Structures are given as C-alpha cells and as structure tokens.
Amino acid sequence: MTSPLAAASAPYRALWDRLSYPWQRRLTRTAFALSLLVTLLIILFPLYWMASSAVRPLTEIYTRPVSYLPVQLTTIHYEKVLFDTNLPRYYLNSIVVAAGVVVLTTTAATLGGYGLTRLDIPFKKTFARSVLFGYMFPPILLAIPMFIFWKELGIIDSYLGLMLAETAIALPFSLWLMWKFFQSVPESLEESAQMAGASRFRAFYEIALPQAKPGAIAVAVYAYSASWNAYTFPKIIMISEGKWPLTVGVHTFVQQFQVNWGMIMAAGFLMIIPSFIFIYSLQKYLLRGFRI
C-alpha cells in the first residue's frame, strides 16, 4: 500500500528521474550549498549582532523597532571596557590560565594515552573506558570537595589551583581521545626503531607522537575551549578580583538595576578574538597534515 507521502512526492520523483545526471549533480550541489549558507547565516548572526551592538550608542540599542544596521557608530563601549574597567587584567588572566591548562592537559593526555596503549598495565582497558564515567555527573558536584582539598593544599586563589582544577575537568575525555589515537599507530614502527637502537622515549617522540599529532592538537583545542569558557570553578577558586578571568570579570558589568549591554557586547567581541586566532592557526593541521 502506497503511503500518502510517497504518493504526493511521486510527480517530483518522476521529474527528477527525467533529468540528466549532470543536471541532477548540479541541483544536488546547489541545494547543499544553499543549506550550508543558511546554516552559516544562523551561526554568524549572533556574532554580527554582538559586533554591531558594540559600536552602537546605548540609546540605539534600546530603540524599538530594532534596526539591523547601526545608524550611528561609536567606540565609547570599547573605550570604557579597556580604560575604565579591569578587563585588560581579566584578559591577561584568562590567557595565562588557558595556556597553562592546554600545556598540562595535552602533556598528561599524550603521555597517559601512550602508556595505556603501549605499556603492560593491569586493567588498562577497563581504566581507559571508565574515565568517561566521570562525565555522567555535573562538574559542580566537584566544586565543594575540590575547594576544601585545594584549601588544604594552599592553592586557593592561585593560578596553579585554577589550572589544576580545569585540567582535572578536561583530562578524562582528552586521555580517552589520545588512547584511541595511539591505537591507530602501528606498534611495529616503534619496534623497528627500537631494534635499530632507539630508546623507547625516542621511538615515542620520533615515531608515535608525529602520527598522533592531530589527536594532540584536538586535545589542545578542547582544553582551551573548556578553560576559556569556564565560569563555575574560576568563580569558586579565584577570590581576588585581580585574578578573575574574563568569564567572571564580565559579570561585573551586570549591575543591580542596569545591564550595560554595550560594554558586555564589546567585551564579548574582544573575548572571541584569541579563540579565533588559536583555532584558525591549528585547524589546517587537524584537517590536512600530521607535521607542523
């Protein structure tokens, strides 16, 4: 029995079948390009709205009906966030913490993933698979125990404490990812190097690591994203305002009776610049090559 949907689409199907293969291919590519364009517009519109709101006067931001193009241009919001607030300090704090988290997470995940793949460790497969169970629970559950533990260690309100906290959140998935990447590297290549006189570390550094470099770069991007956008742990661990990252510092622009959307949009646009530079500089290695 023919379904109503099939019956309704039958004329279009017959028309499609009468088209030649080159025309079918052109129409398919055109439809695919249009779908990508629509998706791109949906993704970029919030960024455009943020950038345009950052150069509008406050009176224009609150004007109704909404204008999609700025009528007047101003740099007052950028001047305020750069010279009248602690945003440059928040910016530097975020960069320092994110760089530390990327280095710690990438190093630990690379060495741990290699060890789980190559070394004879009891129950290593069970451990490698079980690390992901930590993501069944929200990170906020770790906030109070981590605060108490960090306080006993004396690293509350320190960059090191925040780096270790965010590394602990990003490391389980990163370790699992590197474990999978090293499994795709043939162990025979390292064995050949060791038979030729290379040490295990040299075989790892010169043979296995270059082959798993896309995985290490993916881990670096993931760790950076997790650190740069983190809010809960920086808010809990960093007590001094001078050590706040951007995510916590920008929240000070929200006052009790007023929200300065112009300053928030300007700060938000400045926040995405390092992310764009970092990911753009690494994306070609993720997509095309194994060597930097």
pLDDT per position as a tens digit, 72-87: 888 888 998 888 888 8
149 with 99, same domain? yes
Check whether residue 44 and residue 168 sit in a common domain.
Answer: no
Residue 226 identity (one-letter amino acid): A
- Domain shared by 258 and 136, yes or no: yes
Is there a domain that residue 41 lies in? yes
Entry field: residues in the chain = 292
If asked whether residues 39 and 161 sit together in one domain, one would say no
- For residue range 134-162, what is the model confidence (pLDDT) as tens digits? 777 777 888 888 889 999 999 999 999 99
Rounded to whole angstroms, the maximal C-alpha distance in the chain is 76
Measured between alpha carbons, how far is 84 from 187 in angstroms, rounded to an integer?
57
Helix (H, G, I), strand (E, B) or coil at 146: helix
State yes or no: pLDDT of 163 exceeds 90: yes
Average pLDDT, the chain: 83
- Estimate the crossing angle of helix 213-228 against helix 261-287, to 10 degrees: 170
- The CATH number given to whatever domain includes residue 161 is 1.10.3720.10
Q: Are residues 16 and 139 in the same domain?
A: no
pLDDT band at 289 (very low <50, low <70, confident <90, very high): very low
* 66 within some domain: no
How many domains, in total, are found in the chain?
2
- The answer as to whether 230 is a domain residue is yes
Question: Residue 145 belongs to what H/E stretch?
Answer: helix 143-153
Q: How far apart are CA 274 and CA 95, in angstroms?
A: 8
Same domain, 233 and 93: yes
The string of pLDDT tens digits covering residues 2-49 is: 555 455 556 666 666 676 767 778 888 888 899 999 999 998 998 898
197 vs 168: which has the higher pLDDT: 168
Q: Considering the domain boundaries, does residue 113 fall inside one? A: yes
Span 59-78, average pLDDT: 84
Query: Are 155 and 196 in contact, with CB atoms under 8 Å apart?
Result: no
Percent of the chain with pLDDT over 90: 21
Q: Which residue has the tokens 């959307």?
A: 261
Q: Are residues 205 and 168 in the same domain?
A: yes
Q: How far apart are CA 231 and CA 100, in angstroms?
A: 17
Q: Is the pLDDT of residue 288 over 60?
A: no
Q: Between vectors from CA 147 to CA 143 and to CA 151, what angle results, nearest 5°?
A: 175
Please, what is the end-to-end C-alpha distance for the chain in angstroms? Answer: 59
Same domain, 8 and 115: no
- Within this chain, do residues 21 and 140 fall inside the same structural domain, yes or no? no
| Alpha-carbon span 164 to 66, nearest angstrom | 45
Domain membership flag for residue 59: no
Q: What is the pLDDT of residue 166?
A: 93
Query: Which of the residue ranges 232-236, 254-258, 284-288 has the most confident prediction, judged by mean pLDDT?
Result: 232-236
Angle ∠(226,271,41) on CA atoms, nearest 5: 90
Residue owning tokens 């993704």: 43
Q: CA separation (Å) from 93 to 26, 30, 66, 68, 105? A: 51, 46, 36, 34, 18
Among 196-205, 208-217, 241-250, the least confident range = 196-205
Higher-confidence residue of 128 and 261: namely 261
In a domain? residue 89? yes
Provide the pLDDT for residue 133: 75
- On whether residue 75 sits in a domain, the answer given is no
| Shared-domain flag, residues 85 and 49 | no
Residue showing tokens 């950052």: 54
Model pLDDT, residue 291: 46
- Domain assignment present for 64: no
Q: How far is CA 124 from CA 50, 169, 200, in A?
A: 47, 20, 19
Peptide bond preceding 65 in cis form (omega within 30 of 0):
yes
Average pLDDT over residues 94-121: 90
Pick 231 or 62 by higher pLDDT. Answer: 231
Range 156-183 average pLDDT: 90
Roughly what angle, to the nearest 10 degrees, separates helices 143-153 and 159-183? 120
Residue 72 has what pLDDT?
85
Residues 28 and 106 occupy one common structural domain:
no
pLDDT at 126: 78
pLDDT grade, residue 130 (50/70/90)?
Answer: confident
Provide the 8-state DSSP code for 183: H
Q: Which domain holds residue 42?
A: 4-53
pLDDT at 242 over 80: yes
Both 99 and 46 in one domain: the answer is: no
Residue 191 has what pLDDT? Answer: 80
